[in-house]
Amino acid sequence: MAKEILAIVEALSNEKALDKEKVFQALEIALATASKKKCNVEAEMKAEINRKTGAAIIKRRWLVVDAPDGILENPSREISLEAARVDDPEIRPGDYVEEMIIDENTNKDIIFDRITAQTVKQVLQQQVREAERQQVIDQFKSQVGKVLTGTVKKAGHERVFVDLGNGAEAVLQRKDMLLHDNFSFGDHIRGVLLPIREDASRTSSQFLELSRTSVEFLKELLSIEVPEIAEGQVEIVSCVRDPGSRSKVAVKAKDRRIDAKGACVGMKGSRIKSVSEELSHEKVDIISYDDDFNKFVKNAMEPAMVSQVIVDMDTNTIIMGVDEENYKLAIGTNGQNVRLAQRLIARDGREMMRIKVMTLKEIEQKSENEHNTTKQMFIDVLNIDDDFAQGLVEAGFTSIEEVAYVEPEEIMATVEGLDEGIVAELQDIARQSLKNITTPSGNPLDEQLIELTGTNFNQARALAAKEICDLEGLAELDSDELADILQITPDQAGKLIMEARNKTWFKDEAAK
């Protein structure tokens, strides 16, 4: 039988391109499993094969455990330390006591009948498949995130099977294909290797998966086509895609003498054209990254030309001012250009900001309306004339609380014709107005509510207009409702609501 074992190992090693040691290990597991089934026991079996002669021995093993009370959890697999030391005083917990079942002198034809031999064959096949699987994993795990090229082995509507060579096969799922991808048997195909699913079914060969829709695929294609990226002279800072339709890639050069955008586009667009063709003619916008956030945002809107950028951190909004001719281009088909630009600038953990595209005329009108609204508020609340209110607006004051709590010297320095007495009277009126806000039904705002909003007059008035006059009313809102009322982000609204609930609904728990 020893010669047969060596012949089996040699044949499997050559046929499956497996290391002989892996085949020996697989055969040992198969022999141990078959012996256990033949003997019909729960005990652990261990097979050992001499690598030179092919001689096999099989042992039954018991794990030595320290059981002072003599009770074993699994008597068929364990032996107490006390019993084991009867034959070996030096044995320790964790060691094994072994009993020879088959040795080199045993007539194995008596032990391994036809049924047992079939068991060996089945287990061996399973172990060899697992060894092949592990060999492929070891071969490709260093290539995760890299572009692989293969040949279509089988093409279906939901998935395509790709031959990567050397017996390795990958699958390309429909969700990882581009809209216009259409492959047939024998076609060459490229895709980026996704993280290997080592938890996939042991009998499945589909643990290697490719993707043509991932951002990494686009990055790797650019690295292949643009030597400056591969050599580290140009860095891809941010990259977003609508796979098969449009993508935006922000790049910057580590050396100021290098034109990062020009390097990626290539002479007459040759480099970016090659990338686009591989992606089923997906449009790829190369964006120049800039450390100046306003300039980067402006660049992110390409191919549209942006004339004005207004960043409003309070509402987490960026207003893009464009002329009439660029308006549709800036928005893009179904808002695609704006959507991609928003995702492109949301990097380094930065919260995604909403981009709003407006014409220059709309921005001018919006600014004029805001000024008029602010001026009228000053007239109504502070009881001042039009010229005085206009002076405050031109000086940059936008709210009652700014007038109420700014240093008097700043008001006198920015608004002409004021002395200390007038400023003191003006600030007294402003501070008093913050305390006298009422709802349409006449209910005054609770001081805790005013304190929570940070004495923000505009926010306090907005809450009062919705009949919200105390923390209880604020606590009952959801974040979207409050965001609409105060014109803030849902995250900011959520924090205010939770603070209100902690001071009302959960105040007893907080006290504990």
Q: Locate the domains of the chain by residue range.
A: 2-136, 144-213, 228-345, 383-435, 447-511
Q: Do domains 383-435 and 447-511 have the same CATH topology?
A: yes
- Residue from 141, 142, 177 nearest 157 by CA: 177
pLDDT at 46: 82
pLDDT at 508: 67
pLDDT at 162: 93
Q: How confident is the model at residue 110 (pLDDT cuts 50, 70, 90)?
A: very low
- In angstroms, the CA 294 to CA 318 distance is 9
Give the CATH architecture of domain 144-213.
Beta Barrel (2.40)
pLDDT at 200: 52
Q: Which helix (H) or strand (E) holds 249?
A: strand 246-253
Q: Average of pLDDT values for 192-221?
A: 79
Q: How confident is the model at residue 408 (pLDDT cuts 50, 70, 90)?
A: confident
Which residue has better confidence, 37 or 162? Answer: 162
Q: How confident is the model at residue 116 (pLDDT cuts 50, 70, 90)?
A: low
What dihedral angle (degrees, nearest 10) is formed by the CA atoms of 292, 296, 298, 304? 160
Q: Average of pLDDT values for 36-61?
A: 78
**Maximum average pLDDT range among 131-135, 140-144, 263-267:** 263-267
Q: How confident is the model at residue 173 (pLDDT cuts 50, 70, 90)?
A: very high
Is 177 a residue whose pLDDT tops 90?
yes
DSSP state of 68: T
DSSP code string of 143-190:
GTTSEEEEEEEEE-SSEEEEEEETTEEEEEEGGGS-TT----TT-EEE
Q: Average of pLDDT values for 235-244?
A: 94
DSSP state of 444: B
Is 357 a residue whose pLDDT tops 60?
yes
Q: Average of pLDDT values for 488-493?
A: 84
Is 202 a residue whose pLDDT tops 50?
no
Summarised one tens digit per residue, pLDDT across range 319-356 is 999 999 989 999 999 999 999 999 999 865 566 788 99
- In angstroms, the CA 285 to CA 276 distance is 10
Domain 2-136 has CATH 3.30.40.230: no
Q: How confident is the model at residue 201 (pLDDT cuts 50, 70, 90)?
A: very low
pLDDT at 381: 83
**Beta-strand pair 354-359/188-193:** unpaired
- In angstroms, the CA 338 to CA 385 distance is 43
Q: How confident is the model at residue 509 (pLDDT cuts 50, 70, 90)?
A: low
Would you say the pTM of this structure is higher than 0.95? no
Angle between helix axes 420-435 and 360-382 (nearest 10 degrees) is: 90
CATH code, residues 447-511: 1.10.150
pLDDT at 215: 94
The tokens of 265 are what?
């586009």
Give percent of the chain with pLDDT exceeding 90.
Answer: 32
- Residue from 224, 241, 240 nearest 190 by CA: 224
Tell me if 246 sits within 8 A of 340, measured CB to CB.
Answer: yes
Give the CATH architecture of domain 383-435.
Orthogonal Bundle (1.10)
pLDDT at 113: 58
Is 115 a residue whose pLDDT tops 70?
no
Q: Average of pLDDT values for 3-25?
A: 74
Which residue has better confidence, 437 or 510? Answer: 437
Which residue has better confidence, 347 or 141? Answer: 141
Other CB atoms within 10 A of residue 351 CB:
8
pLDDT at 439: 82
Is 108 a residue whose pLDDT tops 60?
no
The answer to which of 127-131, 208-212, 416-420 has the lowest mean pLDDT is 127-131
pLDDT at 199: 60
Is 132 a residue whose pLDDT tops 90?
no
Tell me if 470 sits within 8 A of 449, measured CB to CB.
Answer: yes
Q: Average of pLDDT values for 275-298?
A: 93
Tell me the C-alpha to C-alpha distance, in Å, between residue 264 and each of 145, 152, 272, 443.
20, 30, 6, 63
Q: How confident is the model at residue 11 (pLDDT cuts 50, 70, 90)?
A: confident
Is 274 a residue whose pLDDT tops 90?
yes
The answer to which of 129-143, 163-177, 262-276, 476-490 has the lowest mean pLDDT is 129-143
Burial class of residue 3 in the structure, from the number of CB atoms within 10 Å of its CB (0-12 exposed, 13-18 middle, 19+ buried):
exposed
Which residue has better confidence, 45 or 258? Answer: 258
Give the CATH architecture of domain 228-345.
2-Layer Sandwich (3.30)
Is 366 a residue whose pLDDT tops 80?
yes
- Average pLDDT across the chain, whole number: 84
Q: How confident is the model at residue 204 (pLDDT cuts 50, 70, 90)?
A: very low
Is 261 a residue whose pLDDT tops 90?
yes
Is 203 a residue whose pLDDT tops 50?
no
Summarised one tens digit per residue, pLDDT across range 439-481 is 888 888 787 887 776 656 677 778 888 888 888 988 899 988 9
Q: How confident is the model at residue 262 (pLDDT cuts 50, 70, 90)?
A: very high
Give percent of the chain with pLDDT exceeding 70.
Answer: 89
